[in-house]
Chain A
Amino acid sequence: MSKDNEILEAFTNKEYEHGWTANLEADEAPKGLNEEIVRFISGKKEEPQWLLDWRLDAFRKWQDMEEPDWSNVNYPKIDFQDIIYYSAPKQQKKVNSLDELDPELRRTFEKLGISLEEQKRLTGVAVDAVIDSVSVATTFKEKLGELGIIFCSFSEAVQEHPDLVRKYLGSVVPVHDNYFSALNSAVFSDGSFCYIPKGVRCPMELSTYFRINAANTGQFERTLIVAEDKSYVSYLEGCTAPMRDENQLHAAVVEIYAKADAEVKYSTVQNWYPGDKNGKGGIYNFVTKRGICAGDRSKISWTQVETGSAVTWKYPSCILKGDYSVGEFYSVAVTNNYQQADTGTKMIHIGKNTKSRIVSKGVSAGKSQNSYRGQVHVMKRAEGARNHSQCDSLLMGNQCGAHTFPYIDIENQTAQVEHEATTSKIGEDQIFYCQQRGIDEESAVALIVNGYCKEVLNQLPMEFAVEAQKLLALTLEGSVG
């Protein structure tokens, strides 16, 4: 066992590599939350009256709500008055090309490994980068514009496409849906907006990169994706944050609206700062993500690789309203040290012959707690609904925990629903097998874990899959259970 402990130790000592801060001058709101702050944010962004009213309505609803405590995570109570709700890197107002970008900011992105220009030239991925609260750069806008695709920061969309925003904002995640969605609706500062017109297949991956930079701030971004009939888009999201001793709050809302025959694929590689090895600091990641398959034969697919955050609390969900619509959820959640993750999905089958598939892979190490919480709900009129769920957990060491809380609620006799879950560890025989073939113990673990997660990683777009695999290998190097 001592060898195992040694290796586990080595693994626990791995440090977070995105923990630097950039010296970006920021334009901040004062600490605290009240109606004035909501007005301040709205004013800063020169928003129309309807949006301000919408925010204030959300704020009032939020005040009447209580912070939920049903999840399987523990964290000290958040003081919502001790957070800066708006922080924007100071820079000239409009950037027309990347060359005009603040050099410090560009260095920031280079450090993150998302050199915006490189991206532009090599990978053909359109990026919208959000630092702290504000979108700082969006690439490939013109090229997308030719196809009628709108891909821009949320504030820009509010100014330029107010009708679209007004129509769909809050249509999937209502303001009062939950405590954090109400908070987000009141104070969200920016995010991405994406609109794919009828019959258009988006030629490139769209991507948003989030980073929290300033201290004491919370990040509240909002993403809205609308896919018209017969359109297709693949969307990526990535995130990092500096190492700080205090906990920072990230409460985002993502809404996806898919019409008939549309397909939206949403992939996330979440790598917020998880806190140090004693559980100090780290991001609280409380995110509401939901998509609605409003039209017949539409499809929404969520893929997530969750490696960061001190506390993760997120359930990307699909409302399968259109007949023959499909929802998918693929997830890898890795927790280490004192990280806690409570994540899963909801599949609400409303339309006839709707299908959903859930694959969730949890890996827990150190003293972390990893929970899968999910719901499959087949409503009465969902004739012929079909679901298959699989959630597996892998434990490394006996200090961590793996939990599953699946809810399966069936109201139609023609539904076919299956759920299976297993818990296991990496077998000594598997490691031995690899070692015999000259693969050292650390690589063997990485190999086995990658194999274990393969079903999910295969769903990621190429660029992300490579990043995710590296991330997994890094977090799990040498962690033999």
Chain B
Amino acid sequence: MKQKNTTALTAELLARFDDFTSALNGESEKPLFQLRKEAISAFETLGIPSTKNEEYKFTPIGKAIDKKINVGKPSIDNVGSLTEDRVTPYHIPDLKGNILVFHNGIFSKELSSVVSSPDAIRIQPLSEAYKEASEQFVRNFSKYADVQNDAFTALNTAFSTEGSFIEVSKNQVIEDPIILHFIQDAAQGAAFQSPRNLVLVGENSQVNIVEKFDAVSESNTWTNAVSEVVLEEGANVSFYKVQNDTDEALHTNHTQVYQSKNSTFSAYTFTFSGDMVRNNLNIVLDGEGAEANMYGLYLVKGKSHIDNHTVVDHKQPHANSNELYKGILDESSKGVFNGKIFVRQEAQKTNAFQSNNTILLSDNAVINTKPQLEIWADDVKCSHGCTTGQLDEDALFYLRARGLSKESARAMLLYAFASDVLERVSIAPLKNYLEAIIAERFEQNF
């Protein structure tokens, strides 16, 4: 089959929109429907980006979409049953908290549970929030992610029906993490999902959120997710993203963060597989004393293509950002890293650090790195560093001289490389879970 160009793909997705809206009974009367219409017209203008687009230069996303586009249409009534015992293997062992399970983009009430007090936090599936259309929701929904300039955000805004709306009140520490578990099951024929999350965190409140993506069948799926996270003054949010899809999965996602004064946001992105994964993480630091931490780890092999794009926009003085992304690429996998740091003219006394390290384990693996600093303020400390290399021969020799086999010496060094990121995970069951995945990968010789 001849590969369709990005224009043809765009047209195909546009055509889907009409089918989709006619299936949304009566929603077209709601004010939020206007957002969908705006988004789809923005998408029409933007189109699926080709590799001529600087942001997608190394990521031929059209090619990946071409493989997925026929696998299922965004439909809301095409859901098979998902039983608890099918889901359980994908849960993170021992991790208790508020769990929302979504199956092929549909909220599963039976498998979900909310344990935190409703006075402290509101956790709602997006469809409910849509219906209720509370003032807070309407005021913030789709106000942060850039629909006009990002094709996939526009596409998500047009098609999303489900996800979550999380609102944390003032001065609350939410002990139980919130787990958003998205499960895709292409066996049922519906494999395109557009999860959408909106998280509002009140003054001085603290919350941990884990997004987990799994595909339970070996066929083509496409997840196009968008999350908006808004931090009020002094709020503290940890946001974990665990992607362990099948090797056939296409995953595009965009996390847009807005930070006020003295707030702290930490993002942890773990990617273990996928045909093509594109993670956008955009953080706007719009308050003095705000702090953003971005940690990423990707371990891929086969033909996986992993693309991490991060943007930190320092708008106000005295803010800090730290970034550490590590990757291990084996076989014919490809890695792309693009980290942008903007320091605006007002943002004096900014500290921004960025680091990206990659290990290539095969001659067919490729890494394209572009750390980008754009600075308009003079009294700042910014630096970036990136390295690409292989395992240190001396270190390997040292371990082997002490009786370790080649494989275990290698596994040990790779584990040490990955642990810089891993050790920052503060939720113990999650950390154990990730460690187990990584250890298993290294033991099987990657």
- Distance between Cα atoms of A419 and B368 in the complex (Å): 13
Task: Answer whether residue B378 sits at the interface, using C-beta atoms and an 8 A cutoff.
Answer: yes
Question: A380, A397, A413, A425: which has the most chain B beta carbons within 10 Å?
Answer: A413
- Distance between Cα atoms of A421 and B354 in the complex (Å): 10
Q: Cβ of B365: which chain A residues have Cβ within 8 Å of it?
A: 411, 413
Q: Cβ of B360: which chain A residues have Cβ within 8 Å of it?
A: 410, 412-413, 415
Task: Answer whether residue B439 sits at the interface, using C-beta atoms and an 8 A cutoff.
Answer: no
Please, what's the 1-or-0 string for A400-434, where 1 marks a CB less than 8 Å from any CB in chain B?
A: 11111111111111111111111111000000000
CB–CB A397/B388 < 8 A: no
- Distance between Cα atoms of A14 and B164 in the complex (Å): 60
CB–CB A415/B389 < 8 A: yes
Task: Answer whether residue B121 sits at the interface, using C-beta atoms and an 8 A cutoff.
Answer: no
Closest Cβ–Cβ distance, residue B148 to chain A (whole Å): 21
For B372, give its contact among A398, A404, A415, A418 (CB under 8 Å).
A404
Residues of A in contact, count (CB < 8 Å): 35
Task: Answer whether residue B385 sits at the interface, using C-beta atoms and an 8 A cutoff.
Answer: yes
Asked, given contacts A400-B376, A401-B375, A404-B373, whether A417 binds B387 with beta carbons under 8 Å apart, the answer is yes
CB–CB A398/B377 < 8 A: yes
For B367, give its contact among A404, A406, A408, A420 (CB under 8 Å).
A408
Q: Cβ of A410: which chain B residues have Cβ within 8 Å of it?
A: 358, 360, 366-369, 388
- Distance between Cα atoms of A182 and B279 in the complex (Å): 39
Task: Answer whether residue B72 sits at the interface, using C-beta atoms and an 8 A cutoff.
Answer: no
CB–CB A397/B378 < 8 A: yes
CB–CB B372/A405 < 8 A: yes
> Which chain B residue lies CB-closest to A409?
B368
Q: Cβ of B364: which chain A residues have Cβ within 8 Å of it?
A: 380
Closest Cβ–Cβ distance, residue B424 to chain A (whole Å): 22
Asked, given contacts A413-B390, A418-B385, A418-B387, whether A481 binds B378 with beta carbons under 8 Å apart, the answer is yes
For A423, give its contact among B382, B385, B388 (CB under 8 Å).
B382
- Distance between Cα atoms of A417 and B348 in the complex (Å): 32
Closest Cβ–Cβ distance, residue B63 to chain A (whole Å): 19
For B388, give its contact among A398, A415, A424, A425 (CB under 8 Å).
A415
Closest Cβ–Cβ distance, residue B316 to chain A (whole Å): 14
Task: Answer whether residue B175 sits at the interface, using C-beta atoms and an 8 A cutoff.
Answer: no
CB–CB B388/A408 < 8 A: yes
Please, what's the 1-or-0 string for B376-399, where 1 marks a CB less than 8 Å from any CB in chain A?
A: 111111111111111000000000
CB–CB A398/B378 < 8 A: yes
CB–CB A408/B370 < 8 A: yes
Interface residues of B in 83-106 (CB under 8 A from A): none
Question: A70, A396, A401: which has the most chain B beta carbons within 10 Å?
Answer: A401
> Which chain B residue lies CB-closest to A428?
B379
- Distance between Cα atoms of A425 and B373 in the complex (Å): 15
Task: Answer whether residue B119 sits at the interface, using C-beta atoms and an 8 A cutoff.
Answer: no
Closest Cβ–Cβ distance, residue A356 to chain B (whole Å): 14
CB–CB B375/A395 < 8 A: yes
Q: Cβ of A405: which chain B residues have Cβ within 8 Å of it?
A: 370, 372
Q: Cβ of A354: which chain B residues have Cβ within 8 Å of it?
A: none
Q: Cβ of A396: which chain B residues have Cβ within 8 Å of it?
A: 378
Q: Cβ of B381: which chain A residues have Cβ within 8 Å of it?
A: 422-424
Task: Answer whether residue B420 sits at the interface, using C-beta atoms and an 8 A cutoff.
Answer: no
CB–CB A425/B378 < 8 A: yes
Task: Answer whether residue A393 sits at the interface, using C-beta atoms and an 8 A cutoff.
Answer: yes
CB–CB B371/A421 < 8 A: yes
CB–CB A402/B375 < 8 A: yes
CB–CB A401/B379 < 8 A: no
- Distance between Cα atoms of A396 and B377 in the complex (Å): 9
CB–CB A393/B375 < 8 A: yes
CB–CB B387/A413 < 8 A: no
CB–CB B371/A403 < 8 A: no
Q: Cβ of B379: which chain A residues have Cβ within 8 Å of it?
A: 398, 425, 481
Q: Cβ of B363: which chain A residues have Cβ within 8 Å of it?
A: 380, 411-414
For B389, give its contact among A397, A399, A417, A420 (CB under 8 Å).
A417
- Distance between Cα atoms of A399 and B364 in the complex (Å): 45
Question: A393, A399, A405, A481: which has the most chain B beta carbons within 10 Å?
Answer: A405
Q: Cβ of A414: which chain B residues have Cβ within 8 Å of it?
A: 363, 390
Asked, given contacts A413-B363, A415-B360, A418-B385, whether A407 binds B370 with beta carbons under 8 Å apart, the answer is yes
Q: Cβ of A399: which chain B residues have Cβ within 8 Å of it?
A: 345
Task: Answer whether residue B32 sits at the interface, using C-beta atoms and an 8 A cutoff.
Answer: no
Please, what's the 1-or-0 string for B288-309, where 1 marks a CB less than 8 Å from any CB in chain A?
A: 0000000000000000000000
Task: Answer whether residue B409 sits at the interface, using C-beta atoms and an 8 A cutoff.
Answer: no
Closest Cβ–Cβ distance, residue A262 to chain B (whole Å): 29
For B366, give its contact among A393, A403, A409 (CB under 8 Å).
A409
Task: Answer whether residue B440 sits at the interface, using C-beta atoms and an 8 A cutoff.
Answer: no
For A406, give its contact among B371, B375, B389 (CB under 8 Å).
B371
Residues in chain B within 8 A of chain A (CB atoms): 54, 58, 345, 348, 358, 360-390
Residues in chain A within 8 A of chain B (CB atoms): 70, 380, 393, 395-425, 481
List 8 additional contacts besides A407-B368, A422-B381; criterion CB under 8 Å: A393-B375, A402-B375, A408-B369, A413-B363, A413-B365, A416-B390, A417-B387, A420-B383
Q: Please list 12 pairs of residues, one from A and one from B, whose beta carbons are closer than 8 Å in the complex, sorted by A's number.
A: A393-B375, A395-B377, A395-B378, A398-B345, A398-B377, A398-B379, A409-B369, A410-B366, A410-B368, A417-B387, A419-B369, A421-B383
Rank and list the top 10 A-B pairs by shortest CB-CB distance, nearest first.
A395-B378, A413-B360, A408-B369, A423-B382, A422-B383, A420-B385, A417-B388, A416-B389, A401-B376, A403-B374
